[in-house]
Structures are given as structure tokens and as C-alpha cells.
Structure 1
Amino acid sequence: MSQYTIVFTALINLLGIAGIVVWHLQGRSRPNERLITQIVFFLAMTATLVCARIMPFRFDAPHLDGTGTLVVMAKILWWTHLSWATIGFVRIYIVLDGRPREARLIQDLLVAIVYLGVLLSVMAFVFGVPIGTILATSGVFAIILGLALQNTLGDVFSGIALTLGRPYTIGDWILLPDGTEGRVVASNWRSTYLLTGAKNQVVMPNSVLAKQGLTNVSKPDEAHQLVLGVRIVPTRAPAFVLRVMLDALSSCNSIIQEPPPSVSLIGIDAAAIEIQLFFSVTSLAHRSSAKNEIIDLVYRHCIANGLALASPPGTQIISDGQITVPKTSTLTLLKSIALFSDLTEEEQHAIAAGAIEKRASSGEELLAKGSVSDRLLIIREGVALRRDQDEIVARLAPGDVLGAWGVFAGQPESSQSLTLTPVTFYQIEKSVFDSLVVDRPRLIEDLAGRLHRHGSHSDTGAPPPNHSDGTRADLVHAIRSMFGAH
């Protein structure tokens, strides 16, 4: 071998080693720079290899001296850099193609194929190993290994099938036939990890997921429809009951109002009118809070309109008398409001005696934005809204209070209050509360302090917050904690 060839061979080894050092120094956080480095060093090694007249795709018996060792190392380094450059292109393609995180399975599969191909090429073109014989012999071992690992291989290939079919992506909420449900937080070769609403991690083998049907609640979006059954004693016409149930749904802050919720009458007999309420929530994680609010509102609207809930089927007690349902009195309504629950019986009776019942048609303004109210309004029947710049900030139902900030704290209204449906309400002038200050000087201050601490139903001016329960806001934290990141 000529001195000229020896110099180029040594240069190939230096370029290969330098490329490895630079590649590691750049770190994993700079994939684009790594790929450029791999391509530059690979092209430089290829050009030098051509100049040295060394054919990496052909096996040449090495010389039994230092020069032969240099040639073998040069070929190994060239094949190594070829595999890294190819893998870099694969990873960049997956990123630019906008694939989800679970495409990591495809990436790992392609990387394994590249490494296997390079290993066989090095064995064949550098060391002259007969690959055909090895492949024929390894077939027997592959059969034995496949039988021993058939369950694991089933999970692996099921994971590949799920990745290619994409029935779900990382972050989707899925529901399985056995009742298991949760968000997909990770997926690997063998298993898929679900984070349930109870903050538990469920590990599902990919073969199990591939064999059963699953419901992806997050597609096309996370809005989910719920159904709640209600039975009402038939003391009023079904049309009237239907309107009351629609009012209850219209006053709910936890559900989606567009498209509007609906009510269906599904049956009637002497004991009850059977109704189903259909409403949607933004996410399955909010279904409990939405159902809680709907049940509370159904009860409040039924009491406000003189309706009674019927007993479950088969539990009715036969009675000769007519069922009577008392309507809510002013005193009963006051006692149900948290703001006045600590008042004495005498104070509650005095406030109830000063209440004046009034009615307002739909779309009528009750309190203007920026005004300091000198009267308290308590909704007895119907639905009202608090609106700010054409956006609804709260929906008010029977038992909700308006004007408390002005009467007790002297603060202006942060939003406009108007009726959504015809509303019946009680109006209590500030002078009624001022008359009670004679016997209890700190009454107004106590009510103002209670208002600041707890509000008065929806009088805080905004719907109740939706607490996180396995939502996407917790997804990043769950993934980081799962893999030990902080």
C-alpha cells in the first residue's frame, strides 16, 4: 500500500473519531445540528475514502500489518457514520411530518433495521463473514425464540398496529368495554399507560387494546354528552314540567350551552312523568361537577315552581288524598341561602317581611354594570344572567342573589344582570337591613365579611371553577413524574 493511501486511510480514521466526539459534545437537545455534523463528517469520510481507493462495499483481505488495521477501522467508522446519518434523516422526517409522540415506535423500529443492516454489512464487507449461512442458521433460533416470546412479540406487533392505525394519540381520553377509562400518557413497545380520573396509572398490554374495541372520547373533540333521568309527580301539565327542566339546564354554569341542552319526555303514568335531560360537558373530567350542579338546579327549580320529585318505580305508597306541593316561601328561600344562614330567626323573619315579590319579563335588565345597588334581589323562579361585554359570566337560578356587593360592601356591579326567561324575584331594600343594625350594630359588616369570604351563590360574578380531574392540564405533570422528570 502506497504512502499516499496510508495518509488518506489515517485521515479517514481521524475524521471518524472527530465526528464521534463532536456528535457527543452537541448533546441530544440539538438534533438539527447533530444531523448537519453527521452529514458533513460522513461526506468528508466518503470523499477521503474515494481518494484512498478503498471500497467499503467490497471485502478485501486485510494485510497483516498496521495498515490493514487502519483500513478495517476506516470501514467500520464509515459504516457507523452512515447509520447515524440515516437515523438522523429518519428522526428529522418524523418531526417535520408532524407525527405524534407515539410515532417513537416506528422510529425505534426503523433505527433497529438500520443498525441491523449496518451490522450485517460490516460483518460481510469488512470481516468477510458469510452472511447467507448465518441467516439460514439463525432461522432455527428465531423460531425457538418466537415461541418463547410469543406474548411479548404479540404486544410488540400490536403496538406497531395501534401506532399505524392511530385509534388514539397521547393525551386522548379513551374508554374500554370493561369500564376502564383515562388519558393516554405514554405508549411504548409493550404497553400503553392510562391516567385515570382518580389519579391512578393503568398499564394496558398493547395486545389487549388491539383485541377489544375502545371509545376515543377525545375525537373529534372532548365534548361529551350526558343523560340524567328525572321523575316528577304529575301535578302539572307535561309542557309546564318540560319548561321548568329547560330552565334548570339553562341556568347551569358547568355545561355547554351551544349547542343547547335538551329535554325529552319519555313516559307518563299516574305516579310520575319520566324525563331525560341531555347536556354536554367540555370533558369527561367535568361530568361529576356538572351532574352535581344539574341535580341541585333541578331540585331548586322544582321547589320554585311547585313540582315534587316522584318516588322510584315500585315504591309508591297508595294514598286516597290528592298530592299537594307547597311553594317556596320567602322565609324558606332565605334559610337556604348561605349568606343568611347564620342570622337569627327574628332577623330572618324581619328580612322576609320586608321582601316584595316582583316579576320581570325575559331580556329585562335587573342591575346595570357599574351601578351601586341599594336593594337586594333574590330569584325565586326563572333564569337570569350576569353579562360583561356581551359575554355570559354567570347563570343564575332560584335562590341566587343579586346586588349583595352594593348593599353590604358599597361596591359597584362588575357586570350587567338581566333575565333570560321570565323571572319572579324578591326585592329587599337596604333600609330593611339598616333597621336591624339597631339591635345588631355589626350586622352589615358581618354580612360583608361573609360575602368576601364565600360569596352568595353566583353573586361573585363568575361561574364556579372547574377543578382539574385528570385533564390535559395535568397531562404534562403526569408524564414528567412517570419518567422521573422534575
Structure 2
Amino acid sequence: MGIALLDQLVVQVGSLLALTIPLRFVIRRMTRTKLVLDILVFLTLSLLLFSRGIEPFATGPSGDIQAGIATGAAKAAWWISLSLFLINIIRHFVAFEHRPREGRLVRDLLCGLVYIGTALSLIAYVFNVPVGTLIATSGIFAVVLGLAMQSTLNDVFSGIALNLGQAYAVGNWIVLDDSLQGRVIETNWRSTHLLSPTNDVIILPNSTLAKSRLTNISSPDESHGITVTARFSPTERPDIVVEAMKTVLLGCTKIMRVPTPSVSVVGLDGDAITLELGCRIKNVANVTEAKNEIYDLIYRHSRSQTLSMVASSAKNMLSGPNQTPVMDSAMKCLLTIPLFHSLTENERYSLSQLMVPVGFAKNHMVVGQGSALTSLILIERGVILIENHDGDHRTEVARLSPGDFFGERGVLMGMVEAGDIYALTQVSGYEVPKDRLAVFLKDRPEIAEELAAVLAFRLEKERHLFENVGGLSLGYPPSLSTKIKSLFGLL
């Protein structure tokens, strides 16, 4: 080929590259446009080379140095263009549906093979170096390099195995055999990053994960089982204690109803009856809140049913009927309700004289949705469910246990109930009629403030609960305490 033709080829290839390289940076985020550009550049270079009889996959001339440099530069541009074209196709079309991590791994491996193939082709067809001889003579160097990078390669291949094995994914919560745990926030070729419960980032080499016994709490779904242990004095039959603990789980709002929570007797001796309460929660992040609620309800229900809890050390009772001073049942009920903790003993006694015992059978409807109660009802034993219905759609509003109360909407504001109120278990308690409560509030008007705070909290909770449901109006005055005082003649 003449010198003039070679010079013309160099000018044409140089002009093409000078135009396309800046353009690739401009459209680097436009994958389809960049793919079209790579195709056009590759076809143009192929046309320029093959029209002049230059074969990119053949060794170049060894005589003329100037011709060799020009031809080699054109070949190098062709091979690099081919590699960019192939890599763009791989990144654009190689994908795994619903498995982006595996797709990225395969794409990276294929792109690595393209880079290696391009490098070897440049060595063989541009620099005219026998690749076989080069590989053979670099064997010692490869061994030394492999030994030096043994730890890194171990992490890389462990990462490949973990990715292909799908042991975990970004967003999963995992626990290792040394109790180290956290949520996976990033995984790459060499390491995996976990966000610990204390909000610290833990970086683990993939080789460490590959050798560890790993528990994926987020698989097959985000729900997680928890177990709570309780010990009671053996003064009652185990089946009575079991039924009490089933009532505890029935009153929990932070656990799942399917699968059904369970109560098992795991120990019985002269010191205690030991039970395990098992249930499932929607997310591992809710473990603390769920356990706190279960422990609180264990205390409230065991106290309402005069069951004595014992310490794990032995016979030290934490609560029980023999340790509680003898008092009226109504007074005991008032002691379990935080709303009346600020009352003096005389005031509590005065209020207890206004209370009337009530009881509801299991599954009994206390009041229907849209009706207003005229008494404040204090729960002494059992579980109450409040459930809103809108056609066939039903939404749980609240579950109430010993120490809770309801009816404040109708008594304080004359408002109707947000849902059906019925007894999930046999329920006993006391009611305070509106007219009797008015007499008491005249002496303790600050109780109206506390009742207003409780009502405002419940109304706000209901507003958030139903904001996407519709069909329920939860409007209320901006100052509940003022309205309550006005209704009861306290202003």
C-alpha cells in the first residue's frame, strides 16, 4: 500500500476518533444512543480497513516501519472499537429478570473476557508478538502474582460463589455464627457491607462469609419468629396459665395472626411453671417493640388474673395475690390504669364508689360502629377488639387489655365509635356513667386534660390509619380539653 494511502487512512481514522471520543463522554448515560454510535464507528473503521486490504486479525508488515506504525494504529483502533461495541451489547442486553445482582456478575465476567481477548489480539496482530510464547514465558510471573494475591483472589471467588448461590441479597438481614448481624447494604467482588443494629457499617471479606454459618432472616420473606419465656408460681394448673398467656398473645397488636401464635409449657417443677410464647412479626426491625409489648401484657394479664411470676433464680415471686394488700376489686382496677395514677387514695376511693361492675361474654358485641357509648368502661380482665368495617373491608383499629379503657369518645364528646367493639375473650371490668363522671371531674378538672390527651392521641392514630381508606370522618375540635370542660360545665 502506498504512503499516500496510509497517510490518508491515518487522517481518516484520527478524524473519526477525534469526533467520536468527546461525543461518547457527552452521551455516556444514553445507553442506546451510545450503542448506535459504537456500531457506526465499528462499521466505518471496518470499511476503511477492508477497502484498503488491511485485515485486523492478521499480522502486520515487518519491513516498512512507517507503514507498520500506520497499519498498527488503524488495527488498534478497530480492535478497541470492537471491544467497546461488544461491551455495550453485553451491558445492554445481558440481564436476569428479577435478579440484577446475578446479571451484573455475568456482565462483569463477560466484559472481563472481552478486555482480555482485546489485549491479546492487540499483542498478536498489532505488535506481532506470539501470544503462546508470551503466555509460556510469563508462567513464573503468574505464579508469583497469584501467590501474592491469594487472599484477594480467595475473596473474589468467594464473592462469585455467594452471588451465584444467592445466599443473600441487598436489603436482607443476616446473622453469622458468631452472633454478628446486620442488614446487607452493599456487596461487591471482594467484600459485603452490613449495617448493624447500632447503625455501624461492618465490612466483611467474602471469604469470611463463605466459611461462616449464615442465617438469612429475610428469607423466604421479611417475617421473623420470636420467643418470649415466662415463669409462674405453680399455684395454678398449667392449662389455666396457658390460657392466660394465649390471652396475652391475643391482645398483642405488633405480631402476625398467621401463623397462629403458640404457648408451650417447657418446664414444670416445685419452683415454677415455665412457658414459651412463640409468634411471628412482620419485620426483624420490630423485634424490640413486639417483645416490649408482650412483656407488658404478660404483667397486666397475670396481675388481673392473680398469677404470680417468679424470678429465674428460684422462689422469689415478682407479683402475686399474697403480696398485694387486701383491697376492693374496683380499687385494684383503678390502680392498673395510668390515667388515674395521679389520684390520691381518698379520690381513688371516691371514684371507685361511682363504678359499676360489667361483664361481656366471648365474642359479645359491646357496641356497633356508628353508635355512641354513654359510659367510660375500664377493662379489668380480657381483651377488647375495635374493628372498623367499610363494606366488605375490615380494618383493626385497636386491641385493648387490662389497664385500658374505652368509651371516652361518646362520654366526652358525644362522638360515635369508629368501629364495632366486641370481646375477643370473656371480659370483666367497670363502667363509669357519664353523669357520675361529671360529678367527679368537678373536683378534679385536670383529669379532663388527661382524658383529652388520650382522646386526641387515639383520634390522631385513627386518622393516620384511615387516611388511605376513606369513608370515615374523624374531625374534632382543635381544643378537646376546652370542649370537654364546656360539656361538663367546668369552665
Query: Would you say same fold, with TM above 0.5?
Result: yes
Percent of pairs identical after alignment?
36
Q: How far is 1:419 from its partner?
A: 1.4
Aligned to 1:451, which of 443, 450, 454?
A: 454
The 8 Å contact of residues 120 and 131 in structure 2, kept in 1 or not, is answered as: yes
The 8 Å contact of residues 374 and 407 in structure 2, kept in 1 or not, is answered as: yes
Deviations 1:87-126 (A, max 9, x none): 1222224445443336544433332332122112112111
Deviations 1:11-35 (A, max 9, x none): 444334433222211123x333322
Deviations 1:429-463 (A, max 9, x none): 111221024334x44641344225655xx995599
Closer/same/farther in 2, CA of residues 343 and 313 from structure 1, 3 Å limit: closer
The answer for the alignment partner of 1:342 in structure 2 is 342
Aligned to 2:403, which of 389, 399, 405?
A: 399
The unaligned stretches of length 5 or more in structure 1 are 465-486
How far apart, CA to CA, are the structure 2 residues paired with 1:460 and 1:423?
Answer: 24
- SS of match in other structure, 2:442: coil
Task: Map residues 208-223 of structure 1 onto 2, 5 A cutoff.
Answer: 208-223=208-223
Amino acid in structure 2 at the alignment position of 1:416? D
- SS of match in other structure, 2:236: coil
The 8 Å contact of residues 306 and 328 in structure 1, kept in 2 or not, is answered as: no
Closer/same/farther in 2, CA of residues 129 and 417 from structure 1, 3 Å limit: same
TM-score, normalisation: structure 1 = 0.85
Amino acid in structure 2 at the alignment position of 1:435? V
Taking CA–CA contacts closer than 8 Å with sequence separation of 6 or more, which of the two structures ends up with the larger relative contact order? 1
How far apart, CA to CA, are the structure 2 residues paired with 1:313 and 1:156?
Answer: 50
Task: Map residues 96-107 of structure 1 onto 2, 5 A cutoff.
Answer: 97-101=97-101, 104-107=104-107
The answer for the alignment partner of 2:440 in structure 1 is 436
How far apart, CA to CA, are the structure 1 residues paired with 2:161 and 2:83?
Answer: 26
Task: Map residues 18-417 of structure 1 onto 2, 5 A cutoff.
Answer: 18-28=19-29, 30-61=30-61, 64=64, 69-95=69-95, 97-101=97-101, 104-315=104-315, 329-389=329-389, 390-417=394-421
Q: How far is 1:416 from its partner?
A: 2.3
TM-score, normalisation: structure 2 = 0.84
How far apart, CA to CA, are the structure 2 residues paired with 1:36 and 1:348?
Answer: 83
How far apart, CA to CA, are the structure 2 residues paired with 1:443 and 1:333?
Answer: 20
Amino acid in structure 2 at the alignment position of 1:395? R
The unaligned stretches of length 5 or more in structure 2 are 466-491
Q: How far is 1:357 from its partner?
A: 1.5
The 8 Å contact of residues 96 and 103 in structure 2, kept in 1 or not, is answered as: no
Deviations 1:340-390 (A, max 9, x none): 333444433232221111111222222332333321111111111111122
Q: How far is 1:53 from its partner?
A: 2.5
- SS of match in other structure, 1:19: helix
Amino acid in structure 1 at the alignment position of 2:311? S
The answer for the alignment partner of 2:422 in structure 1 is 418
Moved more, 250-259 or 411-420: 411-420
How far apart, CA to CA, are the structure 2 residues paired with 1:97 and 1:450?
Answer: 51
How far apart, CA to CA, are the structure 2 residues paired with 1:149 and 1:281?
Answer: 44
Amino acid in structure 2 at the alignment position of 1:417? I
Q: How far is 1:337 from its partner?
A: 2.3
Deviations 1:156-182 (A, max 9, x none): 221122112221111111110000011
The 8 Å contact of residues 272 and 310 in structure 1, kept in 2 or not, is answered as: yes
Amino acid in structure 2 at the alignment position of 1:447? E
Deviations 1:197-231 (A, max 9, x none): 11111111111111122111111112111111111
User: Is 1:14 matched with 2:15?
Assistant: yes
Moved more, 165-174 or 145-154: 145-154
- SS of match in other structure, 1:197: coil
How far apart, CA to CA, are the structure 2 residues paired with 1:247 and 1:132?
Answer: 78
The answer for the alignment partner of 1:427 in structure 2 is 431
Amino acid in structure 1 at the alignment position of 2:454? L
The 8 Å contact of residues 60 and 71 in structure 2, kept in 1 or not, is answered as: no
- Alignment RMSD (CA, Å): 2.9
How far apart, CA to CA, are the structure 2 residues paired with 1:241 and 1:79?
Answer: 79
- SS of match in other structure, 1:438: helix
How far apart, CA to CA, are the structure 2 residues paired with 1:445 and 1:392?
Answer: 27
Moved more, 69-78 or 201-210: 69-78
- SS of match in other structure, 2:443: coil
Q: How far is 1:396 from its partner?
A: 1.6
Moved more, 198-207 or 129-138: 129-138
**What is the aligned length?**
456
How far apart, CA to CA, are the structure 1 residues paired with 2:66 and 2:424?
Answer: 92
How far apart, CA to CA, are the structure 1 residues paired with 2:62 and 2:350?
Answer: 109
The 8 Å contact of residues 95 and 104 in structure 2, kept in 1 or not, is answered as: no
Closer/same/farther in 2, CA of residues 169 and 437 from structure 1, 3 Å limit: closer
The answer for the alignment partner of 2:486 in structure 1 is none
How far apart, CA to CA, are the structure 1 residues paired with 2:464 and 2:334?
Answer: 22
- SS of match in other structure, 1:179: coil
The 8 Å contact of residues 408 and 455 in structure 2, kept in 1 or not, is answered as: no
Amino acid in structure 2 at the alignment position of 1:21? P
Closer/same/farther in 2, CA of residues 204 and 308 from structure 1, 3 Å limit: same
The 8 Å contact of residues 184 and 194 in structure 2, kept in 1 or not, is answered as: yes
The 8 Å contact of residues 10 and 70 in structure 1, kept in 2 or not, is answered as: no
How far apart, CA to CA, are the structure 2 residues paired with 1:126 and 1:306?
Answer: 91
The 8 Å contact of residues 38 and 84 in structure 1, kept in 2 or not, is answered as: yes
The 8 Å contact of residues 305 and 327 in structure 1, kept in 2 or not, is answered as: no
Closer/same/farther in 2, CA of residues 393 and 453 from structure 1, 3 Å limit: closer
The answer for the alignment partner of 1:484 in structure 2 is none
How far apart, CA to CA, are the structure 1 residues paired with 2:98 and 2:442?
Answer: 71
Amino acid in structure 1 at the alignment position of 2:384? A
